[in-house]
């Protein structure tokens, strides 16, 4: 296969990996700076020295250029650009989206890209505008898919072809396109026509489009977000599983006198200081940079340094399992990005399937933290906790007598067993008391996010495995294995919280429950002296409480089938 992708570390749906093209390796996530042969603010050689392993240029510009059209065929793209890394070529689709037509066919552009020695070829797909009506989107997607099929038929499965995913804002079309691209055997899949969304700060739509495409793309595919170049949004896109970005933003912003940072861009005229540690910013004051003769080039160098540093920061965050913290930090820089971040969190159930099990840390950073994948995964697995009849959720983590189960409470996760020490959000491991089997996602091998208890529960205080279910059903009418407790915190004011607790299909509002530190009503959590009238026991034929037999209660038949029967265990 001409293009191979290997995923290494992962966090949320993002991953670090290796893209291998023609025996050349690119660390991902990666930025492919755009190179225009006619206008090189920063040369490919300089890019290489800055650590760039891959770049993108436009085959259509070369093909239409009197200066380069033939020369590039004779010398080859790598020699002409003086760059021995991976060079990807776009087909002219961008020009198609801007000018409405191009004077080249799908087969011609691919043959040209092959002839000039490009490492990754892009068919002439049609980037449908986000504002297109459904009929247009369907028609243009059909043409794009036909061209992808044509490319595979002409150049074969081993050709280094990219398979762009189009479909405008229609999520079902994006899903359909991504599925077909995967079925056709493309392992390098750009998501196209998203530049207008980013230019108009429509990050909610951007999130929906990427998530729709990712839903049906093969997990092994390398995903390239076409035209994404502002460092502020890389973390958000990487969290959804975008591996590559390309943009001319570093040069375009520089020409407009704009200075990129990870939290937005500034006009150089507005800056009194340069908040950056790159070589340009350390060797110039803001005033010197403003008045420099080669200001545009210097700004381009700075913009590139900031962009590449952010990519490295994302790779490190994925490796360390701290990508959520980085996404949260970046998305608070602009209200529309925060809106996109909140949209991403509505997809948390999908993201949870990709997310790693252990993380370096979990910092509460605001309401959005409550919807993170770690919280969702924990709350899904609460259903697997085995509980006694009387359950107390204690907010102060104190020890209580008189309850079968005492749970501590830690927002935003919710209740957790008292034997779990420390911060339950750190280094989750499987608790042996939690039922084995498949995790909430149906994927095997998802350990429960609980630490090992420091001491095993007293085996005498619990019925043998297998009996618990019967006892539970008899005593509470609920099956312990199927019990679902879900805490939904809807309002916060300081440390006070308000919301609902759901146990199976019943929902109770709090803070009433937690302020009084009473137990869940549905589990008949009354203190012993508040119990309803006792009933005759099936074992001792006396009036006693369900549960372990009290001292002195030793009637005939108390031991049966090798186990000690419990009072209240009728029959």
**Which residues are annotated as catalytic?**
90
Least distance in Å: CB of 369 to Zn ion?
Answer: 31
Q: Report the DSSP pairing between strands 222-225 and 244-247.
A: parallel
Query: How far, in Å, CA of 17 to CA of 29, rounded?
Result: 7
CA distance 501 to 505: 10
Report in angstroms how near the CB of residue 45 gets to Zn ion at its nearest.
20
Contact between 346 and 339 under an 8 Å Cβ cutoff? The reply is no
Instruction: Classify the C-alpha dihedral 98-99-104-105 as positive or negative.
Output: positive
Residues near Zn ion (CB under 5 A) are: 276, 278, 281, 302
Nearer to Zn ion, 239 or 299 (CB): 299
Element (H, E) at 27: strand 24-28
* Residue with Cβ nearer Zn ion (41 or 225): 41
What is the chain's Cα-based Rg? 30
- For 397-419, b/e burial (b = at least 16 CB within 10 A) is eeeeeebbbbbbbbbbbbbbbbb
Question: Among candidates 127, 87, 92, which has minimal Cα distance to 106?
Answer: 92
Give the residue with the Cβ less far from Zn ion, 225 or 281. 281
Q: Residues 288, 292, 297, 299: is their CA dihedral positive or negative?
A: positive
CB closer to Zn ion, 257 vs 547: 257
Q: Please list the residues that pair with 258 across neighbouring strands.
A: 267
State the minimum distance, in angstroms, from the CB of residue 285 to Zn ion: 12
Query: Is the C-alpha dihedral spanning 264, 299, 14, 165 positive or negative?
Result: positive
Our CA dihedral for 115, 121, 123, 127, rounded to 10 degrees, sits at -130
Element holding 236 (H helix, E strand): helix 234-239
What is the CB-side half-sphere exposure of residue 491 using CA atoms within 13 A?
A: 7
- Residue number with CB closer to Zn ion (174 or 302): 302
Nearer to Zn ion, 300 or 392 (CB): 300
CB of 305 to Zn ion, least distance (A): 5
CA–CA gap between residue 378 and residue 357 (Å, rounded): 11
């Amino acid at each position: 296969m001409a293009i191979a992708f290997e995923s290494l570390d992962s966090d949320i749906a993002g991953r670090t990996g290796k893209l291998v093209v023609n025996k050349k390796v690119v660390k991902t996530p990666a930025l492919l700076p755009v190179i225009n042969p006619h206008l090189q603010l920063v040369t490919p050689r300089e890019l290489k020295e800055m650590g760039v392993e891959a770049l993108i240029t436009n085959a259509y510009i070369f093909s239409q250029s009197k200066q380069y059209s033939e020369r590039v065929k004779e010398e080859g793209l790598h020699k002409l650009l003086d760059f021995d890394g991976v060079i990807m070529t776009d087909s002219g689709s961008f020009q198609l989206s801007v000018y409405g037509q191009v004077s080249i066919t799908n087969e011609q552009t691919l043959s040209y890209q092959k002839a000039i020695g490009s490492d990754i070829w892009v068919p002439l797909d049609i980037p449908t505008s986000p504002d297109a009506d459904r009929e247009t989107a369907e028609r243009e997607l059909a043409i794009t898919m036909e061209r992808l099929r044509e490319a595979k038929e002409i150049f074969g499965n081993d050709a280094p072809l990219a398979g762009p995913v189009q479909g405008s804002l229609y999520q079902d079309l994006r899903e359909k396109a991504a599925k077909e691209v995967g079925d056709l055997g493309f392992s390098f899949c750009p998501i196209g026509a998203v530049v207008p969304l980013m230019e108009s700060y429509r990050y909610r739509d951007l999130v929906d489009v990427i998530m729709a495409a990712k839903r049906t793309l093969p997990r092994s595919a390398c995903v390239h977000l076409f035209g994404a170049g502002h460092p502020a949004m890389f973390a958000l896109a990487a969290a959804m599983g975008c591996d590559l970005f390309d943009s001319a933003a570093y040069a375009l912003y520089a020409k407009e006198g704009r200075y990129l940072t990870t939290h937005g861009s500034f006009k150089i005229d507005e800056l009194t200081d340069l908040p950056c540690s790159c070589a340009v910013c350390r060797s110039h004051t803001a005033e010197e940079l403003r008045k420099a003769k080669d200001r545009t080039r210097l700004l381009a160098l700075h913009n590139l340094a900031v962009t590449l540093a952010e990519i490295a920061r994302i790779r490190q965050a994925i490796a360390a399992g701290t990508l959520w913290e980085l996404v949260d930090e970046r998305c608070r820089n602009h209200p529309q990005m925060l809106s996109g971040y909140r949209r991403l969190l509505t997809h948390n159930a999908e993201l949870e399937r990709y997310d790693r099990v252990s993380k370096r840390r979990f910092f509460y950073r605001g309401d959005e933290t409550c919807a993170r994948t770690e919280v969702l995964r924990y709350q899904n697995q609460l259903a697997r906790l085995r509980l006694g009849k009387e359950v107390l959720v204690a907010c102060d983590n104190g020890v209580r007598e008189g309850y079968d189960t005492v749970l501590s409470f830690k927002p935003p996760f919710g209740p957790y067993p008292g034997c779990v020490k420390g911060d339950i959000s750190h280094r989750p491991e499987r608790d042996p008391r939690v039922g084995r089997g498949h995790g909430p996602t149906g994927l095997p091998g998802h350990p429960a996010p609980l630490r090992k208890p420091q001491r095993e529960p007293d085996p005498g205080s619990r019925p043998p495995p297998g009996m618990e279910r019967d006892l539970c059903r008899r005593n509470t009418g609920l099956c312990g294995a199927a019990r679902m407790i879900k805490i939904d915190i809807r309002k916060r004011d300081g440390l006070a919280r308000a919301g609902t607790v759901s146990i199976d299909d019943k929902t109770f509002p709090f803070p009433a429950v937690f302020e009084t530190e009473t137990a869940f009503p549905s589990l008949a959590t009354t203190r012993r002296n508040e119990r309803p009238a006792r009933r005759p026991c099936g074992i001792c034929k006396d009036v006693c409480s369900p549960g372990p037999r009290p001292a002195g209660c030793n009637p005939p038949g108390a031991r049966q089938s090798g186990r000690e029967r419990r009072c209240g265990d009728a029959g």
